[in-house]
Amino acid sequence: MIEKILATVFFPGAIFILAVSLFYEWVDRKLYARFQNRVGPHLAGPFGLFQPIADLIKLLSKEDIVPMATDRFLFTLTPILAPALILFACMFLPVAGPSGIISFEGDLIAVIALLSIYTITVYLAGEGSNNRFASVGAVRAAVQLLGYEIPLTLSLLSVALAAGSLSIRGIVEAQAERGLWFIAGIQAIGFAIFIIASQAEMERIPFDIPEAEQEIVAGWEVEYSGKRLALFRLSKDLELFLLSGLGAAVFLGGPIGPVIPGLEPMLYTIYFILKSIIVLAIFTLVRALFARLRIDQMVSFSWRYLMPPAMILIILTEVIM
């Protein structure tokens, strides 16, 4: 029991996940900067490693402003709910072994559901702040959900079909059994769909439509400042960790790899982090290569170019199995 609680709180639980996700933000920013021939964060700590933490602490220490016209309940609830939801979803990730802290048959669906609830939280956060830009951003977030959610789900489900299991543990173990990652094979299409749809889920270029800075200032988070904004930022980092980790677990074999007996948990963690950083690098590269689409273009793009391959992939997987 104690062990379980310790695992949930420290390793590979909340504290570990928070630290790693802040590190992922650093990797993302640094890589993005390097793609653009810039320096990136370089002041706080070696190579600016502590910049995300510094930013977080700075935001947390700022004055807490609640504008008069906001819905106070939503304005307080959503910044707490958003990181909590994603942190909960991160518990399903197989960080230190083939299964996460929580694992049951169907937990893949649970993760997808949590991601959708997160988007609804975003919508509520935008509408709750009662600002014109925030409303536009919130509506965009909701419309965008219609675009990417189904391809994302289908791409993950086709892997589940191939593995014959709806749990992340089952998928990881199926890859270990086959001795081959799912990305090698037709699931590569699923991986591509997963990357693109995740980009939309995380609201990053080319799908950073709900918070398009140049159009609607900051979209749904325009009214949030101080610690509320810090929590939203944190949930973004957690989402980065969650999705790159999910990609690594589902398509790149998760934490499984050659192990030295006795050192399994450590090596598993290292493998998992390395693999998910590869996924993260792809996310960052995609972010560096495109312009932002318009919301109608985004939805029509995902129904035209993401849905059909995803459907065909499901059918193909079913036929091959």
141 binds other proteins (CB under 8 A): no
- Angle among Cα 236, 241, 244 to the nearest 5 degrees reads 120
Taking the CA of residue 5 as centre, how many other CA atoms within 13 Å lie in the half-sphere pointing to its CB?
Answer: 2
CB 123, CB 142: distance < 8 Å: yes
176 binds other proteins (CB under 8 A): no
Q: C-beta of 206: minimal distance to other proteins in Å?
A: 5
Q: Which amino acid is at 72?
A: R
In the complex with other proteins, which residue's Cβ is closer, 42 or 178?
Answer: 42
In the set 11, 16, 35, 303, which binds other proteins (CB under 8 A)?
Answer: 35
Q: C-beta of 22: minimal distance to other proteins in Å?
A: 22
The binding track of 224-263 with respect to other proteins, each residue x by CB under 8 A or -, is: ----------------------------------------
Q: C-beta of 314: minimal distance to other proteins in Å?
A: 24
Q: Which amino acid is at 15?
A: I
Q: C-beta of 4: minimal distance to other proteins in Å?
A: 42
DSSP 260: -
User: Residue count at the site for other proteins (CB under 8 A)?
Assistant: 39
Question: Applying CB under 8 A, which part among 108-116, 264-272, 292-300, 306-314 lies near other proteins?
Answer: 292-300
Specify the 3-state DSSP secondary structure of 96. coil
215 binds other proteins (CB under 8 A): yes
In the complex with other proteins, which residue's Cβ is closer, 84 or 217?
Answer: 217
C-alpha distances in Å from residue 41, one per residue of 25, 33, 37, 189, 240: 11, 8, 13, 34, 18
294 binds other proteins (CB under 8 A): yes
* The total number of residues written for the chain in this structure: 321
16 binds other proteins (CB under 8 A): no
Q: Residue 140 is encoded by which pair of tokens?
A: 């965009």
Q: Residue 249 — left, alpha, or beta (φ > 0 → left; ψ -120 to 50 → alpha)?
A: alpha
CB 90, CB 17: distance < 8 Å: yes
Of residues 262 through 291, those in contact with other proteins by CB under 8 A are 285-286, 288-291
Q: Which amino acid is at 217?
A: V
58 binds other proteins (CB under 8 A): no
315 binds other proteins (CB under 8 A): no
Q: Residue 138 is encoded by which pair of tokens?
A: 């919130």
**Contacts with other proteins, residue ranges (CB under 8 A):** 31-39, 42-43, 132-133, 135-136, 139-140, 205-206, 208-209, 212-217, 285-286, 288-297
